[in-house]
Structure 1
Amino acid sequence: MNITHASFVTLPVADLDRALRFYTDVLGFETVADRDMPQGRWLQVAPAGAQTAFTLSGPGMGGFEPGSARGIMLVTTDVDTDCARLAQAGVPVQGPDDLPWGRMASFADPDGNGLMLLMEKEGF
């Protein structure tokens, strides 16, 4: 196998514009692609410099139920500050908690897609 990385992860959402505001304004992601395609709007966001983008998939695109994505792990250098910023933006956050592999918290986007923040433990 010669796989080097994932190109994108699909996040099913009910409202593309609302999701775009959350991922760019609240999480600080950049818009990677936003164009009209024959099957609908192709909208991707990603953290600056990331190899993997998040495709925001609206109703009718891909057949996924909005909010059905789970276990999306976002690595951070400061989970406590990020959790405070999320809470300040009105996003409910669980944690952060100390775990053997690092410090971790969880939250959801406006559609209920499950996201986690992980500050990796050095040497784990």
Structure 2
Amino acid sequence: MLISSIDTVTVPVADQERALEFYAGVLGFEVRADNPFPMGRWLTVAPKGAATALLLASWFPDMAPIGGLVVAAPDLDALAARLREHGLAADGPSDQPWGRQLLFHDPFGNGFVASQA
């Protein structure tokens, strides 16, 4: 086996502090690393216990938002309500042939699909 896991996914953000407020404050992710970096901060977050972290990178101003990040959530209705109470749009939850899902974006346009865990 040449690759055994995906450790980090880079997520472009325009403002790392605002991103931290969203990912840690709204979604409840834990901060894995918050260290000085020549181009800003090396700031990674992840759901507690998750193997893969998100690197909230502000040093790629031309990087387009990414889409299709799939996350698992035990209560999609609660997640939708939390997003909406923070002024964010949430599409769903809705029942699909493959299961229940909720679509949403972070404040920087990165797209997520939350599936019922």
Tell me if TM exceeds 0.5.
yes
Q: Does 47-56 or 100-109 show the bigger shift?
A: 100-109
**Structure 1: which 5+ runs fail to align?**
none
CA distance in 1: counterparts of 2:5 and 2:84, whole angstroms: 31
CA drift of 1:115 comes to: 1.1
Runs of 4 or more off by more than 6 Å in structure 1? none
Letter in 2 for 1:50: A
Report % sequence identity.
45
Deviation track 1:83-123 (CA, whole Å, cap 9, x = no partner) reads: 11111121110111101221101111111111111115xxx
Amino acid at match of 2:63: F
How many residue pairs match? The answer is: 117
Q: Tell me, which stretches of 5 or more residues in structure 2 are unaligned?
A: none
For 1:56, what is the secondary structure of its paired residue?
Answer: strand
Question: In the alignment, residue 112 of structure 1 is paired with which amino acid?
Answer: G
Equivalence for 2:94: 97
Q: Distance in 2 between matches of 1:7 and 1:26?
A: 23
Report SS of the residue matched to 2:48.
coil
> 1:105 is paired with a residue of what secondary structure?
strand
Q: TM-score scaled by structure 2?
A: 0.91
Which residue of structure 2 aligns with residue 113 of structure 1?
Answer: 110
| TM-superposition CA deviations, 1:46-89 (whole Å, max 9, x none) | 0001000000010347x523xx1100111011111111111112
State how far apart, in whole Å, the 1-side matches of 2:7 and 2:107 are: 23
Match of 1:73 among 70, 75, 88: 70
Q: Deviations over 1:8-66 (max 9, x none)?
A: 111101001000110000000011001112343211000001000000010347x523x
Within 2, Cα distance between the matches of 1:43 and 1:75? 22
Cα root mean square deviation, aligned: 1.6
